Chains A and B, each alone.
Chain A
């Protein structure tokens, strides 16, 4: 049993990412931030909407990255937390008349609690078994949302339409631009908080568990606690992303949060580079834009084209965007020296 389990738990293709390598240098960060800030000034509202979607999925991928890259646990159930966050925000806005910004922390906290509680029993499982348990959660969630008992609030299968907020204080911004900056501000705050979390004592504990659970517990780390904590934090951030998603898309329905979403997020994490937080946004851009590219190549075979593109990415850069970034860094370093 233990031999089998070890081969299974050893399987994750997560290299021990040193914690410095998890982030970007200050210069690069500033450039990326500047780009994100000025981009909306030059594009149409519809593209701004797409960029906002990328930021939101980026947050959800980041949350998964903390879980998988940080503490070494797999989850295919992120769509469930995303859905929960989305519905909490939508229900609070539409039925309780709450301000959209206030609903987000509530979504985050409830999802954190939910994730933490779900983590308690689930984390007795490890590796692919945990992935399966979370998979079950993702499959079950859309059906819970359809339950007749909750229909009064959730709108059942018909979903719930959410009112799109205007820019506050009479700022001369379109709704889309405002939501973009609003999302960007939250994304940056969560990004910085996540990096600090991983650099803290808790983060080191999580990474120790990821690298070798037995050694970590021998050093006195409360393995169960930190694993559950990572699960909770990840669920909480995903919940905030879900809430933002509901506000931006203006609609929640069970069909928006199927297992496909969970797989897309997982895909985003792998493409962005497991354990490399800045890669989250690259991964999110991949899951938002590449299906469109695939569709423009062939309508009937868009799924197959997407598969081929994904295959190419995994084959050429198995460590995702992180690998590309490292190569670039290497070349820039060479140029500087010469």
Chain B
């Protein structure tokens, strides 16, 4: 997803071939794309929606659009931008449908499995604090944070995914960072 803003939407050749085959309703090609996008798209949606059932629903709906309407990808953007934009729109629609506030009830159960025993306590504390702080952000702010830090997207690409001005993306990130800094004040002191 990274490093494309200045060069235009040149698509990796293997993704172009996959999309060509998907346009011809080639199921193995679609399965490969599904498996390729599942980790990062599911992560994005999990941060955005916070509910496993909604994540699954929106992820599947997004992939159904890719499968049933591959022709709607015009090639004007990167494939990942197109897919993430579909997912973002569907996620917003799904979250509007739900009345309850979205909380991350399982945040405390998640911690990197590769941490050694001596690292786990400190890492768990940081991750819990971070997940809690991110969980208090609005979905739009969470989306910008995740797209920037995890997916390596630039502000122009995020603006395209979220269908908003670049300055709005910058502003959302500014507020999100300020919030994270406030919530993680203790951790920040240790990091310096």
**Do these two chains interact?**
no
